[in-house]
Amino acid sequence: MRFTFNRLKACVTSNASGAALLGGVLLATCSLSAQAAWEEKYYNPKPADEDVTLPMPCEGSLTLRKVQVPVASPMGDYGVTLGQDSDEWGYIEQARPSFIAGSFTVQKPAPGRYYLLAKYELNELQYQAVMNDTCPTPSAKLRLPQVGISWFDATAFADKYSLWLRKNAAAKLPKEDGAAGFLRLPTEAEWEFAARGGMAVSQAEFRDIRFPTPDGGLGGYAWFAGAQSANGKLQFTGLLKPNPLGLHDVLGNVDEMLFEPFRLNKLDRQHGQAGGYIVRGGNYLVPQAELRTALRQEQPYYSAGGASASAQTKLKTSGVRLALVAPVLTSRERIKQVEQDWKKLGTPAAGKATENKDQRADPVAEISSIANTVEDDALKQQLEKLRNDLRANSQARDEQRDQAIRSELQLGAFLCTKLKDDGLFLDTLEGNFERSCGANSEEPASRCEARKEQLEGHRKVLDFMLNYYADSVVSTGLNYTPATIEPQVAMVAQQMTARSKSNLRDYLNNHWQNLSAYMKNGKVARSQWLDSCKSI
């Protein structure tokens, strides 16, 4: 631990009664490394539920947020679309498919995984606490994001901090399969998935130009160029509102350095040449109109001229937001599980279509069997390539099917809420009509006729919604099997929880019960389905 001469002197002076002489040297009984813990404003100026805090040297702290991903198996990953379609910036930002999976497994409330991302951009105080030889004195000016460092400095910081945590606070690090997590710069998929709002936003909001800002406008969420915002100056971390995942300044203030090298986009894939490093999010000199989640730029690792460390690119507009992740192959048992899951990819077993009515020949297995009997090496290689291509195509098909199932389940849960609202409203109207226009009613006939027309109109609305719901149940039951639907029910439940729509879980569960019953007995039980939704 670090301490200064002044702190040593203060320690000895304030504890003179407890000091002792040993070999002519005064030893104080107090701890020479004692230092007051940082005030929360220096590392978490906007505390929120579910914040995760890690200790730092010099009695400091770093605050992170969990980024949930609704997959649990080692080979499971979640499909997302990154970037955006743009003729102007298409070669840099073109929308492309990608996949993400968290590092740390959880079982409750539903199986899933997560990784952690720093809640704020790394500030000067935190950087100095790890990298300097003496502890910095906390002050307001050190709350500014740490800029003017190279990509190599950023990775060196992550390395040094990870080693410190392993030595001094190993119990605080989350673990996956017994392996402790570590800090590094985030990958592009990790950064953009979180910046867009992850599972906390709908698919439409995820694909929007920026994360949703409920009160309208970007001024309350990001620092950008102009007198109404940053006004050409770097700003303190955490002054503005966070994105839906609780991350502050994910757009604007400083560009954030990422782990992997920059590549151009080539329609639906990335170009083969890897160059400098990627920065994302924009900075305080970027106009508001240009600030978008897909904004990505390349920066060279080295500036022009020189061979010393000063030749490394160090910008006043680039900073750091750390990710906390875990190794992938954590143990022999995990490797065996990965091997088993990999062999199932692109096969009927992977799609869980195991019911008798869906049993069919496995072309992948047939090709493997044929390849084993072939002696010609060239033909054997061709068959192996065909087998792998077929597995990849089958896997893509299964992923598209799973996405379609999730959409059907979300629709069913939503329609169930409508059935409840419309059904209970119609019950109220019928009760009012019976009381007002019953056998002994004194209500004018013209008014009762108007009430009756209103009642019939709402009956038609409810009947339409009920038929729509029934069509949804039947369509889902005909197109998919219980074995393919059930895993997606858990995933949709996690999505609802992440989007603060846990109130829809009961409707989802009820819809799944109705769907399961239909798939077993084939009965279109409209009245029973209506009553089940109304009872929630």
Q: What is the mean pLDDT of residues 506-518?
A: 94
Please give the residue that has the higher pLDDT: either 445 or 227. 227
Closest by CA to 405, choosing from 512, 273, 504, is 512
Per the omega criterion (within 30 degrees of 0), is the bond before 109 cis? Answer: yes
CA dist., res. 221 & res. 223, Å (int)? 7
Closest by CA to 290, choosing from 85, 80, 89, is 89
Least confident of 171-185, 259-273, 387-401, 470-484: 387-401
Q: What is the pLDDT of residue 1?
A: 40
Q: What is the pLDDT of residue 2?
A: 41
* Structural domains of the chain in order of their starting residue, each with its CATH number: 1-34 (no CATH), 40-325 (3.90.1580.10), 332-389 (no CATH), 398-534 (no CATH)
- DSSP state string for 115-147: EEEESSPPBHHHHHHHHSSSPPPP-GGGGSB--
Residue 463 backbone zone (phi > 0: left; psi -120 to 50: alpha; other: beta)? alpha
Q: What is the pLDDT of residue 350?
A: 54
Half-sphere exposure of residue 164: CA atoms within 13 angstroms, side-chain side: 19
Q: What is the pLDDT of residue 494?
A: 86
Q: What is the pLDDT of residue 26?
A: 37
CA dist., res. 254 & res. 497, Å (int)? 31
CA dist., res. 367 & res. 362, Å (int)? 9
Structure tokens at 178: 């017994």
First CA to last CA distance, the chain = 58
Indicate the residue type of 482.
P
If pLDDT is split at 50, 70 and 90, which confidence band does 304 have? Answer: confident
Half-sphere exposure of residue 303: CA atoms within 13 angstroms, side-chain side: 13
Give Cα 69 to chain centroid, integer Å.
6
Q: What is the pLDDT of residue 242?
A: 97
If pLDDT is split at 50, 70 and 90, which confidence band does 309 have? Answer: low
Please return the burial class of 52, using the count of CB atoms within 10 Å of its CB with bins 0-12, 13-18 and 19+: middle
Q: Which residue has the tokens 């009820």?
A: 510
The string over 215-254, giving b where at least 16 C-beta atoms fall within 10 Å of a residue's C-beta and e elsewhere, is: eeebbebbbbbeeebbeeebbbbbebbbbbbbbbbbbbbb
Length of the chain (residues): 536
Residue 96 sits at the vertex; the CA angle it makes with 90 and 97, to the nearest 5 degrees, is: 175
Mean pLDDT of the chain: 87
pLDDT at 27 over 50: no
Closest by CA to 44, choosing from 137, 114, 121, 128, is 121
Q: What is the pLDDT of residue 308?
A: 67
Q: What is the pLDDT of residue 434?
A: 86
**Secondary structure of 215-255 in HEC code, one letter for each residue:** CCCCCCCCECCCCCCCCCCCCCCCCCCCCCCCCCCCCECCE
What angle in degrees, to the nearest 10, is found between the helix axes of 377-437 and 445-479? Answer: 160
For residue 454, how many other CB atoms are within 10 A of its CB? 13
For the entire predicted model, the pTM comes to 0.78
3-state secondary structure of 109: coil
- Pairing label, strands 182-184, 269-270: unpaired
If pLDDT is split at 50, 70 and 90, which confidence band does 8 have? Answer: very low
Please give the residue that has the higher pLDDT: either 341 or 38. 38
pLDDT tens digit string along 229-285?
A: 999 999 999 999 999 999 999 999 999 999 999 999 988 788 999 999 999 999 999
Structure tokens at 533: 């939704």
Q: What is the pLDDT of residue 35?
A: 79
Q: What is the pLDDT of residue 236?
A: 97
Q: What is the pLDDT of residue 387?
A: 77
